[in-house]
Amino acid sequence: MPVALVTDSCHYLTQELVQRCALHEVSLYVHRGGTAQRESEIVDYDAYFEALGSATELPTTSQPSIGDFLEVYKPLIDSGHEIVSIHLSGGLSGTVRSAEQAREQLGDAAERVHVVDSETACGAQGLMLLAAAAAIREGGDAAAAVARARAARGDLHFLFSLDTLEYLRKGGRIGGAQAWLGTALKIKPILSLESEIGPVERVRTSRRAFERLVTLIEQLKADGCDAWVVQHTHIPEQAQALVQRGREIFGSDPVFVSEIGPVIGTHIGPGLLGVGGTRTSYL
């Protein structure tokens, strides 16, 4: 039985990788100006983040509906596929729960849908998808794809710096970094991306935050992670500078470099710079 790989829109892989992995995507939504728009339909990230930086009221975001998932699941089921459906952390969004509820409506075919909470997001979620896709290319079944994705997740590390905590505070996604509010809004936080966003350390300047991410790249290499990625929100020059430092450390190019889109970007704001990695053996 062929295996199809389904995900949501919060991995932010490049379009080349989306096509290579044959991903079927269910988009989250952005609500602004009284209208709802699928994240997948927002293509001008520059305009979005420029508007976000001056907005007096932030947009809101929402998970896909059960119906959105069924629109993707049913044709795949009807064509004889098993489905591996890997999604944004349940600690950050109800997306994975919508996927589970959609599966429950498939009757006897529900056993052919395997829903996975990535317990992460963005580039780390993307690396899990690449791992699952690699297992499928090698002829693995759905169980093999799920196992490969979870194995990659076990070795994953992802850290990012932010220009400010203000967007996380306004969006209610601040998690364990809540203790850094108040005067901490003036610092440059280093955060981890796990099932929730967690605090790592505070630095005083953007330069120190950048060097802390370089230190993480060095630690990734020391830990045996040789597949690495860089992501950002609306700061491509800083992202390319981090890529260059990463190349010097790893002696290889990143698996991908991409910009985080409007759903996650609304909650973290412009100015995110992140790096993560796992092992190429999974990919």
- Calpha distance 38→51 (Å, rounded): 17
Q: Give the per-residue pLDDT at 176.
A: 46
- Calpha distance 229→17 (Å, rounded): 13
Q: How far is CA 177 from the centre of its chain?
A: 19
Residue-wise pLDDT tens digits, 260-276: 999 999 988 899 999 99
Main-chain phi, psi angles of 253, to 5 degrees = -80, 155
Q: Say yes or no: domain 157-282 is CATH 3.40.718.10.
A: no
- Calpha distance 221→72 (Å, rounded): 38
Q: Give the per-residue pLDDT at 27.
A: 98
**At 180, is the secondary structure helix, strand, or coil?**
helix
Give the residues of the chain that fall short of pLDDT 70: 171-186
Kindly report the pTM of this predicted structure: 0.93
- Calpha distance 51→47 (Å, rounded): 6
Give the domain ranges of the chain: 3-28+63-154, 157-282
- Calpha distance 146→169 (Å, rounded): 34
HSE toward the beta carbon, residue 161, CA cutoff 13 A: 25
Residue with token string 């305009």: 47
- Calpha distance 3→17 (Å, rounded): 17
Q: Give the per-residue pLDDT at 193.
A: 79
User: What CATH number should be reported for the domain whose range is 3-28+63-154?
Assistant: 3.40.50.10170
Residue-wise pLDDT tens digits, 141-197: 999 999 999 999 999 989 999 888 778 777 555 454 454 445 455 678 888 877 777
Compute CA distances 28 → 41, 106, 174, 235, whole Å: 10, 21, 20, 23
In this structure, are strands 60-62 and 157-161 parallel, antiparallel, or unpaired?
unpaired
Under 8 Å between Cβ of 76 and 110: no
The CA-based diameter of the chain, rounded to the nearest angstrom, is 56
Q: Give the per-residue pLDDT at 189.
A: 84
